[in-house]
Chain A
Amino acid sequence: MLKNSMRAKRIIIREEYCMGCRLCEVYCITQHSKSKDIMKCYRGEEPRPVSRIYFEEKGPISFALQCRHCDDAPCLYACLTGAMYKDKKTGRILHNADKCVGCWMCIMVCPYGVIRPDFEKKKIASKCDLCVEAEFPACVEHCPNEAIILVDEEGNRMKKD
């Protein structure tokens, strides 16, 4: 079995099952924290990372959105330094903070509005990396109602375990 980082996959949002609990944000933040521990991350870790998942709601409709990893991603063209790049193997759009100069053009061009300026770290943009470091994307794993799901390149649902 290929490791998480080796596989092409996409997150699918099913707003009809999104309860609006925003646990996805909690776990996204935790996953991208230094400690990766919910208690440590929330109680004392400074700066606390920003969520890379975007929660939207209007009336009973709600959903949480993250980078779509577009096939033809505008952020790639907009990036001056090449900090934003496409992983050829997996098709993911990733962001190299070291190269980022914080021009935030990517934020300007993103049609989904899912790249966020990281005010704490200044200058740097922050976006979903499909939890490269983890076994499974945190938002998918922890969505209590399976409103966020992961599919492989053929569109088959992937589940943890």
Chain B
Amino acid sequence: MAKAKKLSEFRVERDEEKCIKCQVCVRMCANDVHTYDPETDTVRADSFKCVGCHFCEDLCPTAAITIEYNPTQTKENAHWKRESIYDIVKQARTGGILLTGMGNDQAYKNYFDHLVLNASQVTNPSIDPLREPMELRIHLGRKPDKIDCRLQMTEEGRKKYQIRTRIPPQLELEVPILFTAMSFGSISLNACKSLAKAACKFGTYWNTGEGGLHRDLYPYAHRAIVQVASGRFGVNEEYLERAAAIEIKIGQGAKPGIGGHLPGEKVSEEISHTRMIPIGTDALSPAPHHDIYSIEDLKQLIFALKEATRYTKPVGVKIAAVHNVAPIASGIVRAGADFVAIDGIRGGTGAAPTIIRNNVGIPIELAIAAVDQRLREEGIRNQVSLIAAGGFRSSADVTKGIALGADAVYIGTAALIALGCHVCQKCYTGKCNWGIATQDPYLTKRLNPEIGAEHAGNLLRAWSLEIKEMMGGMGINVIDSLRGNREQLRALGLNEVELRLLGLKHAGEAW
């Protein structure tokens, strides 16, 4: 049989009128799309190799390049779309699992897009965040049910209270947004640095993922949440000591039930050192933790980590949002976790089997609602912090997530987009032209962490300003009053079951 070609997803269009043959595109494309032919003095493009990262387009000094979606279509078929056909072509050729990067790109119902927010009119004054204080500060960590305090009188006869309740360690955030777990390995050190710097500057936290803590990141470790995942890469005493908090990673939204695999080619000297594995060996994170086969095992690990850090740091647990997420989260809280992070089906990844990423898990919106409600029913919601992750695209998504019941939101993809990512989903190839998802020294230097930190910080700033505007409109001047405040949300076009699960009224219904 004749061999079918792989799908050319994009077309690289070059406007010959504009091309000055400076060859910036030739030098810059890691996928070797562009080539210069000195004989004919022309620059050519091989569209088959293009991943649609738009790096050449953004750098071309004369805007001569346009990356277009390739309109080529197989015969119209509602069931057999061209992607399905070409996936099979690929598999027929390779016999392997298809890989992908970033979050789920399927057209599943997006609940965020079916939620609308409230604003005050007449009966309740809206608040102008430009003129009045608007507080976004939150504290993540375990909270006691009540405070025990003793009244003392000062010599001047003023009242003073002495706290008699032990307050567990808290993370203080100036904005309810954290950078989610992305390891040094899955992303470049410059990408880690960018996010770490931005987190420190803005008063929030970044997450090491399972990549260990590179020594260049020590200056930002006081705002790092360090992960202890199934491979235990990079976990040592110093790692735990330097961190602000510890997160036990059980699962990830992009690949629930699946481990991780950093190919040996990427395990450079720096990564080897940071992860504490030999150079060039595959870094395999097992699917489960092999010392956690049950909730009581998890409890042991939580307390082992708390003991190791003498109860000075919050220890949380991250899970993927799966069908049983609410009871699992409740078990995690009862096992002693100080915060629970839940990653929905749209959560990103550096590499995952496409079939898993696209088909396993549930949307974060439903997971937040289910977990928040379950914990309330059990009377323990107030004791623990809930971080939601998985596909938060804008400040509106964050606001809606918090109103549904999350304390804070992890952002990953959005943060990477701020660093240049164009969501081409080719992170797993290690050829990220933007210098993010790569360890290639030719490519990693393309991400200047000064610029990266500024852009990531700008994103946090912009979103926090927008959140303040939305809160002000609702007549709320502190983010605590938005948490789980589902009265401020209304659904648009959701059915009865969805309304019940989300605990929402439909738009048009009053209080």
| Chain A interface residues (CB < 8 Å from chain B) | 16-23, 25-27, 38-39, 42-43, 59-60, 142, 144-147
Contact = CB atoms under 8 A, between A and B. Distances in A.
Contacts of A20: 27-28, 442
B27 to A, nearest CB: 6
A55 B446 CA distance: 16
Contact of A23 (B18, B59, B447): B59
A146 B27 CA distance: 18
Contacts of A144: 58-59
Given A21-B27, A23-B59, 13 more contacts: A16-B445, A17-B445, A18-B445, A19-B28, A22-B22, A27-B61, A38-B62, A39-B62, A42-B22, A60-B440, A145-B446, A145-B451, A146-B450
Interface in B442-476: 442, 445-448, 450-451
Contacts of A42: 20-22
B441 interface: yes
Which has the most chain B C-beta neighbours within 10 Å: A17, A25, A27, A142? A17
A142 B20 CA distance: 16
A19 B20 CA distance: 20
Contacts of A146: 448, 450-451
B442 A39 contact: no
Nearest to A16: B445
B147 interface: no
B445 A19 contact: yes
B28 A21 contact: yes
Contacts of A23: 22, 24, 59, 61
A22 B508 CA distance: 58
A19 B21 CA distance: 18
A61 B55 CA distance: 20
Contact of B24 (A21, A43, A145, A147): A21
Contact of B27 (A16, A22, A145): A22
Task: Identify the 9 closest CB pairs spanning chains A and B, nearest first.
Answer: A42-B20, A60-B441, A17-B448, A19-B446, A60-B442, A26-B22, A145-B448, A21-B24, A21-B28
Contacts of A19: 28, 435, 445-446
A38 B448 contact: no
Contacts of B445: 16-19, 60, 145
A43 B20 contact: yes
B61 A26 contact: yes
A145 to B, nearest CB: 5
